[in-house]
């Protein structure tokens, strides 16, 4: 939470914008403030100008400004504090929350004709083999231990299908790269696959084969063999496609 004393008030003049009536005015105000936040012109912890100051700077009503601030708050870009030292402050980025938001948006899109299972699996096939290679090349003892533990994680009794530990293994590989962008790009896809797959219809023998492949990938990473880890992950994901096609709840119009 920002300190009420630390941040300096950003001058209202920094938020100049000529509002056009092609799009809703509150959207334009929100877009300009978002641009300044992303560009670092309004850094985390800094207090935004007051509603009257923003209203004057943008040439819009206070109601329009208030609606724009609600949009930014819903996107976790600002937080509003009440009281004597309150106001709207630029929020510090929270990667976990961003990943959750992206996953939620993908979950909605995947049920429309615009995005389907093939899109998700194709993106995963490009991302995760490269992640397995990087994990192998960068693995230290702690990383190897985490990957091996994920490969042998027990079944969750609340999830007899086996999808939870399976997808957790893939998330661990993304994290093992040490590159936050891999996790931020791959985790939302896994979240959608997790929520769109049924909890029945997968034989234990199928999961046994999946577990064997996980162990194989983990050992390649443990040995630091990036070529083998990448190839094994690619073959694993390719073999998984029929399983996801059979057990998933997908919009068939997009296939």
Distance from C-alpha of 202 to C-alpha of 163, rounded to nearest angstrom: 9
Residue 5 lies in a domain: no
Q: Do 57 and 100 reside in the same domain of the chain?
A: no
> 147 near 223, Cβ under 8 Å?
no
Give this prediction's pTM. 0.64
Question: Domain check: are 198 and 249 in the same one?
Answer: yes
- Please name which of 228, 230, 130, 126 lies closest in space to residue 174, comparing C-alpha atoms: 130
In a domain, 101, yes or no: yes
- 145 shares a domain with 131: yes
Mean pLDDT of 222-240: 96
CA–CA distance, 72 with 48 (Å, rounded to integer): 12
Q: Give the residue numbers spanning the domain of 83.
A: 12-90
Assign 122 to helix, strand or coil: helix
Last residue of a domain, one of 36, 57, 90: 90
Among 90, 116, 139, the domain boundary falls at 90
Examine the domain organization and report whether 145 and 235 are in the same domain: yes
Question: With bands split at pLDDT 50, 70 and 90, how would you rate the model's confidence at 5?
Answer: very low
Q: What are 116's two structure tokens? A: 């389907």
- What is the rounded average pLDDT of the residues 219-244? 95
| Higher pLDDT among residues 167 and 85, named by residue | 167
155 shares a domain with 73: no
What is the pLDDT, as a whole number, of residue 103? 63
Which residues does residue 197 pair with via DSSP β-bridges, in sequence order?
Answer: 248
Domain CATH number, residue 179: 1.20.120.530
Query: Taking 50 as the threshold, does the pLDDT of residue 13 lie above it?
Result: no
State the pLDDT at residue 8: 44
Q: How far apart are CA 42 and CA 215, in angstroms?
A: 47
Domain harbouring 51, CATH code: 1.10.10.10
Q: Which residue has the higher pLDDT, 136 or 240?
A: 136
Task: Kindly tell me if the per-residue pLDDT of 10 is higher than 50.
Answer: no
Looking at residue 217, the DSSP 8-state letter turns out to be H
Pick the closest to residue 17 from 48, 72, 60 (CA basis): 60
Question: Residue 78: which H helix or E strand, with range?
Answer: strand 78-81
pLDDT at 198 over 90: no
Whether 78 and 103 map to the same domain: the answer is no
Domain identity same for 79 and 189: no
Domain count, the chain: 2
CA dist 228 and 153 (Å) reads 22
Res 29: pLDDT:
92
Q: Do residues 75 and 123 share a domain?
A: no
Picking from 168, 184, 182, the residue whose alpha carbon sits closest to that of residue 218 is 168
Tokens representing residue 227 in the block: 């070529």
Going by pLDDT thresholds of 50, 70 and 90, the confidence category of residue 242 is: confident
Q: Are residues 123 and 219 in the same domain?
A: yes
Q: What are the tens digits of pLDDT across the range 76-115?
A: 889 988 877 788 999 987 766 766 676 666 666 666 667 7
Percent pLDDT > 90 in the chain is 40
79 and 53 both lie in a single domain: yes
Residue 19 shares a structural domain with residue 54: yes
- Residue 240 confidence (pLDDT) above 50: yes
């Amino acid at each position: 939470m920002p300190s009420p004393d630390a941040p300096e008030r950003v001058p209202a003049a920094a938020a100049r914008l000529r509002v056009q009536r092609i799009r809703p005015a509150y959207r334009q105000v929100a877009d300009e403030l978002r641009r300044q936040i992303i560009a670092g012109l309004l850094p985390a912890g800094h207090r935004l100008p007051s509603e009257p100051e923003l209203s004057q700077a943008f040439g819009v009503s206070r109601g329009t400004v208030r609606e724009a601030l609600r949009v930014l708050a819903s996107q976790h870009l600002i937080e509003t504090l009440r009281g004597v030292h309150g106001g709207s402050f630029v929020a510090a980025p929270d990667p976990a929350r961003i990943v959750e938001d992206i996953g939620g948006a993908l979950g909605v899109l995947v049920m429309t004709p615009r995005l389907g299972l093939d899109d998700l699996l194709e993106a995963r096939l490009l991302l995760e083999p490269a992640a397995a290679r990087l994990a192998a090349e960068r693995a230290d003892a702690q990383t190897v231990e985490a990957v091996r533990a994920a490969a042998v994680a027990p079944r969750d009794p609340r999830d007899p299908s086996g999808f939870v530990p399976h997808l957790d293994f893939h998330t661990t590989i993304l994290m093992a790269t040490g590159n936050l962008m891999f996790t931020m790009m791959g985790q939302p896809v896994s979240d959608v696959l997790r929520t769109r797959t049924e909890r029945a219809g997968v034989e234990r023998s199928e999961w046994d084969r999946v577990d064997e492949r996980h162990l194989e990938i983990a050992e390649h990473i443990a040995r630091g063999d990036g070529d083998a880890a990448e190839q094994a992950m690619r073959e694993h994901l390719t073999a998984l496609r029929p399983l996801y096609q059979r057990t998933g709840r997908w919009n068939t119009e997009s296939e």
